[in-house]
Amino acid sequence: MTNHFLILTIFALLVSTAFALLMRQDPKDQLRFGILAFVCFLGSAFVIGWLMYPFPS
Amino acid sequence: MRAKEETQERPATAGIPVAVSAWLVPGLGHLMLGRTRRALTFFLVVTGMFALGLYLRGELFPLDTSEPLTFLAGLAEIGVGLPFFAARLLGMGSGEVTALTYEYGYTFCIVAGLLNMLIMLDAYDIAVGRKS
């Protein structure tokens, strides 16, 4: 498995799930928090990725 | 003070068996406290993440005190509990530095260990009545 985006998505999904269950008690709050954390993980990766785009590899 | 009114605090030692169990087997602490759904989710998340880390050619770092970062990484990975020792016994986690996914692999293993430490503290807090 060398698809970087897939690995990133799996990582974000697993960590968001654990954080949601640890930080929220109510199932509805857990779902909301989990989705928000997941989107923030992916969103920040995209933003940082584009910020690094001008730099040579 | 308000927290004490809401939950009944128990002696700190009451949480030790739960914390040790939670460290050894991810999710077992919550299972002992009757939180089955959470226990199962934590087990799947932590062991899944650790297994994926090994699959991605990650490394199980030694507790080498001459290399502070290696020592800390090893300490974090031990947080996974029995799966870590089982993987070591089976000769897994030697790490393939030249593999494209090597860094991803050890990151997954380290984060799995750190997550299990947080889960262990959560189980301890519930066991001693600090958290509902």
Write the pLDDT tens digit of every residue in A1-57: 778 899 999 999 999 999 999 999 999 999 999 999 999 999 999 999 999 988 876
Angle in degrees, 0-180, between the axes of helices A4-23 and B102-127, rounded to the nearest 10: 10
Partner-chain contact B41 A25, CB within 8 Å: no
CA distances from A8 to B57, B74, B102 (A): 16, 22, 14
The B-side interface with A (CB below 8 A) comprises: 38, 41-42, 45-46, 48-49, 52, 55-56, 100-101, 104, 107-108, 111, 115, 118-119, 122, 132
pTM of the model as a whole: 0.89
Give me Rg for the CA atoms of chain B. Answer: 16
Please tell me the predicted confidence (pLDDT) of residue A57: 66
Four-point Cα dihedral B69, B72, B78, B80, nearest 10: -90
Write the pLDDT tens digit of every residue in B26-36: 999 999 999 99
Please tell me the predicted confidence (pLDDT) of residue B13: 82
Q: Which ipTM was obtained for this model?
A: 0.87
Backbone phi and psi for residue B92, each to the nearest 5 degrees, phi listed first = -90, 165
Closest C-alpha among B116, B93, B123, B120 to residue B106: B93
Contacts with B46 from chain A: Cβ below 8 Å? 18
Q: How confident is the model at residue B4 (pLDDT cuts 50, 70, 90)?
A: very low
B-interface mutation test, from A8, A11, A29, most B Cβ less than 10 A away? A11
Write the pLDDT tens digit of every residue in A5-17: 999 999 999 999 9
> Any CB–CB contact under 8 A between A23 and chain B?
no
Q: How confident is the model at residue B85 (pLDDT cuts 50, 70, 90)?
A: very high
Contacts with B107 from chain A: Cβ below 8 Å? 11
Nearest residue on chain B to A13, alpha-carbon basis: B45
What DSSP character marks residue B98?
T
Say which of B42, B56, B132 has its CB closest to residue A18: B42
Backbone phi and psi for residue B106, each to the nearest 5 degrees, phi listed first = -70, -25
Q: How confident is the model at residue B8 (pLDDT cuts 50, 70, 90)?
A: confident
High-pLDDT (> 70) share of chain B, %: 95
Please tell me the predicted confidence (pLDDT) of residue B7: 63
